[in-house]
Amino acid sequence: MSGDHEDASISRRVRRLETLLEEKGVVTAGAVDEVLDAFLAGASPANGARVVARAWTDEAYRARLLTDGTAAVRELGFMDGSFQRLRVVANTDATHNVIVCTLCSCYPLGLLGPSPGWYKSEAYRSRVVREPRSVLAEFGLQLPTATDITVWDSSEETRYMVLPRRPDGTESLSEDELAALVTRNALIGTAAV
Amino acid sequence: MPDRFPPGTRVRTFLHDPPHHTRLPRYARGRSGVVVEPEGRAELADASARGSGDAPVEQVYAVRFAARDLWGEGDHHVVLDLWESCLEACEEEHEKGAADER
C-alpha cells in the first residue's frame, strides 16, 4: 500500500485556525496542544493489545467484550467518559474481520493510538471494501479462500476493533507476554497474530 | 419505542443522491442488506452537518451487505452503520434471497 497522504496542507490550515483562535482570545496559547498531548499520552495500540490478551485468557471477559465492547474495555480503564460505542469483532477459523472508514478516517484512537497514514489513504479506503482479499494479501496476510471476510465500514459513533485469533503454542504465555504479540495491524485486521 | 428493523430484517437503502452531506456512501445506495443489530440512537448527520439545530434523532443500524449485491462480484461482506431514514424494509420476494444467502 502507498503511504502517501496529504497531511501537509491540512496541517497548514489547522495551524492557521489555531493562530486565529489565539489572536482572538478564544483559546490561550498552547491550550490546543495541551489537550491533544493529554489525550494522546494515553492512546496506544498497547491498550487494544491488553484488551485482547485479557479476552484470550478469560472466557467470561471475552464474552462480555463481544456482547458490549464499550463496557468491557471500561473495566480495564479505557474509553472512560467517551461518547463513542465500541464493537469488537472476533476472528475465527471461518471468518476474518477488517475495519475501515470509507467516508473519512474514524478509528478507535484511544485503544489503537493515532491511525497510520495508509488507513486514511484513498487507496485503502476505496479498495478494502471492494477487494479485501487482495488488499490483505498486499499486507502479507494470505487468507484461505474458504475464509469469509467481513469489512466493517464505520460511519457513525461506533468504533470497531478486531479480536485476533490466539496463536497456537501460546498456552504457557502470561497475559503480558500475550499482549506483546498483538500488533496495531492485527487490531485493524490487516495482519494476524 | 421498539426499533423499526429488528436484527435479521432485510432492508434496502435509498437510491437518491442528496445535494448535501450524507453518511450513506455512494457504493451502498439502492442496495439490499440484512440488519445485524441496532447501535443506539443518534442525530441524523445528514441534517446536523447542514447546521440544523433540530436534526432528528434516529436509531442507527449495522447492516450487512453481500459483496455481490454491492459490486456484482466478490465473496466477502461489508457491514455499514446506517441511520433509520436511509433504510426501508424489503418486499417479501427479497426475503427468499436473504435466506438463500445464509
Cα B22 from Cα B86, distance rounded (Å)? 9
Give me the interface pTM, i.e. the ipTM: 0.88
Interface contact B60-A87, CB threshold 8 A: no
Domain tally for chain B?
1
Please indicate, yes or no, whether residues A67 and A147 belong to a single structural domain of this protein.
yes
Q: How many CB atoms lie within 10 A of CB A44?
A: 17
Which pLDDT score is estimated for A137? 98
- Picking from B78, B84, B86 by the largest number of A CB atoms within 10 A of its own CB, the best residue to mutate is B78
Residue A82, class by beta-carbon neighbours within 10 Å (0-12 exposed, 13-18 middle, 19+ buried)? Answer: middle
Nearest C-alpha neighbor of A88 from the set A112, A74, A72, A69:
A69
Under a CB-based contact definition with an 8 Å cutoff, are residues A154 and A160 in contact? yes
Domain that holds residue A24: 1-41
Domain that holds residue B44: 10-92
Q: Which residues of chain B have pLDDT under 50?
A: 93-99, 102
CATH number of residue B37's parent domain: 2.30.30.50
Catalytic residues of A, which ones? 101, 104-106
Asked if residue B4 belongs to a domain, the reply is no
Please indicate, yes or no, whether residues A139 and A54 belong to a single structural domain of this protein.
yes
Interface contact B25-A153, CB threshold 8 A: yes
Asked if residue B98 belongs to a domain, the reply is no
What is the full per-residue pLDDT of chain A (193 aa) written as tens digits? 444 456 788 888 988 999 999 999 999 888 888 888 877 888 999 999 999 999 999 999 999 999 999 999 999 999 988 889 999 999 999 999 999 999 999 999 999 999 999 999 999 999 999 999 999 999 999 999 999 999 999 999 999 999 999 999 999 999 999 999 999 999 999 999 9
Please indicate, yes or no, whether residues A119 and A64 belong to a single structural domain of this protein.
yes
Domain tally for chain A?
2
Residues of chain A in Cβ contact (below 8 Å) with chain B: 85, 87, 102-103, 129-133, 148-158
Which pLDDT score is estimated for A32? 84
From A87's Cα to the closest Cα of chain B, the distance in A is 9
CATH number of residue A176's parent domain: 3.90.330.10
Under a CB-based contact definition with an 8 Å cutoff, are residues A179 and A52 in contact? yes
**In sequence order, which residues have a C-beta less than 8 Å from that of residue A137 and are 6 or more positions away?**
A143
The residue type of B97 is G
Asked if residue B16 belongs to a domain, the reply is yes
A83 to chain B: nearest residue by CA? B42
Please indicate, yes or no, whether residues A125 and A170 belong to a single structural domain of this protein.
yes
* Chain A residues in contact with B78 (beta carbon < 8 A): 129, 150-153
Which pLDDT score is estimated for A1? 45
Asked if residue A193 belongs to a domain, the reply is no
**DSSP-based three-state secondary structure for B45:** helix
